[in-house]
């Protein structure tokens, strides 16, 4: 097996548990290198570090799969990992819908699998993981006997690995428009054409957190996508709910979700630019009891972090100004390049500029089926904050 030796000065991050090895961290490679092959990684002194897959075309040269030198990477390995991940989710109560595999947090770098009841959506985002797609699908069949498996590999990051973008069935064809249950409500999920894998499971716990603050109130949700927070607000007793999203398709789905839950008289949706609406309504001094802000990622590159922070500050400042005294701001960021401390500081700056005082109700991360590894910073990507604004 090909051997990869780390440089002496920059190997500590890997030794401390991070599974990524960048090209500039490697001092020597002994043996042939073909993209996707399994290699053994050693310290500069020759001590075994781990075993993973290599891709010289990628900035991340090696992604480690195991640190057990006796563990062989074969089809049985992937079956064991999937079974272990499923056992963990079941212990935490995530049985019907969950992120079954969350990449590095489940020791399966560049693999995402979402479970929607009896249907599974899979993403293999690196060459080394894509090579084992067949074994992964076989393991899903053996463990779950699913009604369907679909791949959503229509993501640009695959091209950095020398992979094409693609999507399609990895099982017999099935109707990709399904309905799932969440917190006592039902939601349409478009597996084939929805964002990411079709639905944002990472907010399923956070959506319950608005239950007490929305009762009897007028609620605004900007960047509502398919209206999941909005429908929860209506379900939890809001007097009125208005959801905004720039996508007409998303808004139509939001309306269908409201109707599915008999909330069409309470939850209304408009297809419009949320930035423009927040700015206009601030000038008009419109007021709400609760403002919910759950925007898409404002940046996917480090070069644009400052622009992302500016965007978060603007929408949160305007959200605060739209609240009645003692109203609640529900705000989130899914940009993994904006760490929790920076996100909270941005909210604090917005409050200072808006001349508002914030009292924290809760600060949370993603749902527990998206595990956080304390030694891998980017597994903490979602920030979710509720504050009372006065």
Q: DSSP per residue over 126-165, as a string?
A: SHHHHTTHHHHHHHHHHHH--SEEEEEE--GGGGGGT---
Read off the pLDDT of each residue in 75-89 and give the average, rounded to a whole number. 98
Read off the pLDDT of each residue in 121-145 and give the average, rounded to a whole number. 98
Tokens coding 225: 């996508």
CB 203 within 8 A of CB 195: no
Is the domain of 379 the same as that of 268? yes
Helix, strand, or coil (residue 389):
strand
CATH number at residue 99: 3.30.750.80
In a domain, 51, yes or no: yes
Residue 172: CA count within 13 A, CB half-sphere: 4
Q: Which residues are catalytic?
A: 334
Is the domain of 27 the same as that of 101? no
Read off the pLDDT of each residue in 92-106 and give the average, rounded to a whole number. 97
CATH number at residue 255: 3.40.50.150
d(CA 286, CA 74) in angstroms, rounded, equals 60
d(CA 210, CA 220) in angstroms, rounded, equals 13
Nearest to 312 by CA among 327, 329, 328, 326: 329
pLDDT, position 165: 98
Tally of domains in the chain: 3
pLDDT, position 352: 97
d(CA 46, CA 150) in angstroms, rounded, equals 42
d(CA 184, CA 263) in angstroms, rounded, equals 13
Read off the pLDDT of each residue in 216-230 and give the average, rounded to a whole number. 97
Is the domain of 274 the same as that of 153? no
Tokens coding 211: 């239950």
> What would the pLDDT profile of 16-30 be if each residue is shown by its tens digit?
999 999 999 999 999
| Structural domain harbouring 133 | 75-176
> What are the backbone angles phi and psi of residue 383, rounded to the nearest 5°?
-120, 130
CB 63 within 8 A of CB 19: yes
Please tell me the pTM assigned to this model.
Answer: 0.95
d(CA 233, CA 143) in angstroms, rounded, equals 36
> What would the pLDDT profile of 276-333 be if each residue is shown by its tens digit?
999 999 999 999 999 999 998 877 677 778 888 898 999 999 999 999 999 999 999 9
Sign of dihedral through CA atoms 376, 95, 209, 113?
positive
In a domain, 299, yes or no: yes
């Amino acid at each position: 097996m090909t051997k990869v030796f780390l440089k002496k000065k920059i190997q500590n991050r890997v030794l401390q548990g991070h599974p990524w090895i960048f090209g500039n961290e490697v001092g020597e490679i002994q043996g042939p290198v073909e993209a996707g092959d399994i290699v053994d990684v050693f310290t500069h002194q020759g001590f075994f570090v781990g075993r993973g897959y290599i891709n010289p075309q990628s900035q991340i040269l090696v992604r480690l799969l195991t640190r057990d030198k006796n563990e062989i990477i074969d089809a049985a390995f992937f079956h064991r990992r999937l079974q272990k991940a499923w056992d963990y989710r079941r212990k935490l109560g995530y049985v019907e819908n969950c992120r079954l595999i969350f990449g590095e947090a489940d020791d399966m770098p560049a693999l995402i699998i979402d479970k929607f009841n009896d249907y599974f959506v899979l993403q293999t985002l690196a060459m080394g993981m894509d090579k084992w797609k067949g074994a992964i699908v076989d393991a899903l069949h053996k463990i779950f006997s699913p009604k369907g498996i679909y791949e959503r590999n229509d993501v640009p990051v695959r091209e950095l690995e020398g992979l094409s973008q693609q999507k399609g069935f990895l099982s017999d064809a099935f109707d990709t428009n399904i309905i799932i249950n969440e917190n006592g409500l039902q939601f349409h999920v478009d597996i084939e054409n929805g964002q990411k894998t079709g639905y944002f499971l990472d907010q399923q716990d956070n959506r319950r957190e608005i239950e007490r603050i929305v009762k009897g109130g007028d609620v605004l949700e900007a960047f509502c996508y398919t209206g999941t927070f909005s429908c929860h607000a209506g379900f939890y007793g809001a007097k009125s709910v208005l959801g905004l999203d720039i996508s007409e398709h998303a808004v139509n789905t939001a309306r269908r979700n409201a109707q599915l839950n008999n909330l069409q008289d309470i939850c209304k949706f408009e297809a419009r630019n949320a930035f423009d609406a927040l700015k206009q309504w601030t000038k008009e001094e419109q007021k709400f009891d609760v403002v919910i802000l759950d925007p898409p990622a404002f940046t996917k590159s480090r070069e644009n972090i400052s622009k992302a922070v500016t965007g978060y500050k603007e929408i949160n400042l305007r959200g605060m100004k739209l609240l009645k005294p003692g109203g609640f701001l529900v705000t989130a960021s899914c940009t993994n390049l904006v760490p929790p401390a920076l996100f909270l500081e941005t909210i604090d700056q917005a409050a200072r500029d808006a001349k508002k005082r914030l009292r924290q109700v809760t600060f949370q991360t993603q749902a527990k089926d998206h595990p956080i590894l304390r030694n891998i910073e980017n597994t903490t990507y979602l920030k979710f904050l509720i504050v009372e604004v006065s």
